[in-house]
Amino acid sequence: MRSAQRRALGAASVAVLIACTVTPPAHAESASLERFDTVVVDAGHGGDDEGARGAHGIVEKELVLDVAKRLRARLQEAGLEVVLTRDRDVYVPLEQRTDIANRARGDLFLSIHANAASAREARGIETFFLSLEASDDDARQVAARENAAFRDLAVPVVAEDDPLVAILGDLAAAELLQESDAFARLAQREVSALNGSPSRGVKQAPFVVLMGLEMPAVLVEIGFVTNPDEAHELASEGQRDRIAEALARAALEFRRRYDARRGLAAPAPEPAAPDRMGEGGG
């Protein structure tokens, strides 16, 4: 991405962050009393946007949709409402993904992707939340690759000396970003613990899919499809289940902390089905 484009995207990111942080959503007044109950799961790519192609015939768009559906099932079992930004192989424009999430009044947005690199030995898990500047060159490259998928993206032109840029430091401490950071660390810990997968850490980058959201938002790269060994693991149903379970554990722990901060007790477990053994016996 050329420097002028990066500056425009960065300034646009700040504007979006300000809108989300300084101007609260319409339901913000009652948010302190609302229980964490809705997760928006975003399966990256889709349709004619395949994402990364890797070893063992893995295609990113198919892999992440499968994991997203498995995650939905686990969160629903725990009593949460789950909204998928796509539930089949279709291309969903950027603004539609954002609109789906905000209309659902989600408490968490989780975008699932798979990584790729020219170096076949690259492997591991990394999790991102939104920032004007990327944490490092690798994070910048990942964001550029994922952002390129949104061919419908129109970055508004914002003057480089716009005063909005001056308050970026204040935004870094905003509650929305703090919560995104907190969940990113939970997700990274849980997923990177699987099978001893290397942890590439929690990073920040200007992912456009994380902009404009009225909730904590993270993007998880669940592994490198270009690494033959990691691709072999990702091709298995067992590994996909384990990833979904790990992300579910992170989301449920985040829910517990979210509700506790609001003075809400953990939701009561669903009543067990009646034991009908022996009914009708004599």
The string over 53-85, giving b where at least 16 C-beta atoms fall within 10 Å of a residue's C-beta and e elsewhere, is ebbeebbbbbbbbbbbbbbbebbeebebebbbb
> Rounded to an integer, what is the distance from CA 169 to the centroid of its chain?
23
Give CA–CA dist 143/105, Å, rounded: 25
Predicted confidence at residue 9, as pLDDT, reads 44
Closest among 87, 84, 73, 106 to 180, alpha carbons compared: 106
- The pLDDT score that the predictor gives to residue 21 is 39
Scanning the structure block, which residue is given the tokens 């629903």? 76
- pLDDT at residue 271, as a whole number: 55
pTM of the prediction?
A: 0.78
Digit-coded pLDDT (tens) for 28-74 = 444 445 899 999 999 999 999 999 999 889 999 999 999 999 999 99
Q: Report CA Rg, the chain.
A: 20
pLDDT tens digits for range 238-267:
999 999 999 999 999 999 999 999 898 777
**Which structural domains are found in the chain, ordered by start?**
3-261 (3.40.630.40)
Mean pLDDT of the chain: 80
Positions in the chain short of pLDDT 50: 1-32, 154-160, 164-166, 168-169, 172-173, 274-282
Question: Please, are residues 234 and 114 in contact by the beta-carbon 8 Å criterion?
Answer: yes
Res 125: pLDDT? 96
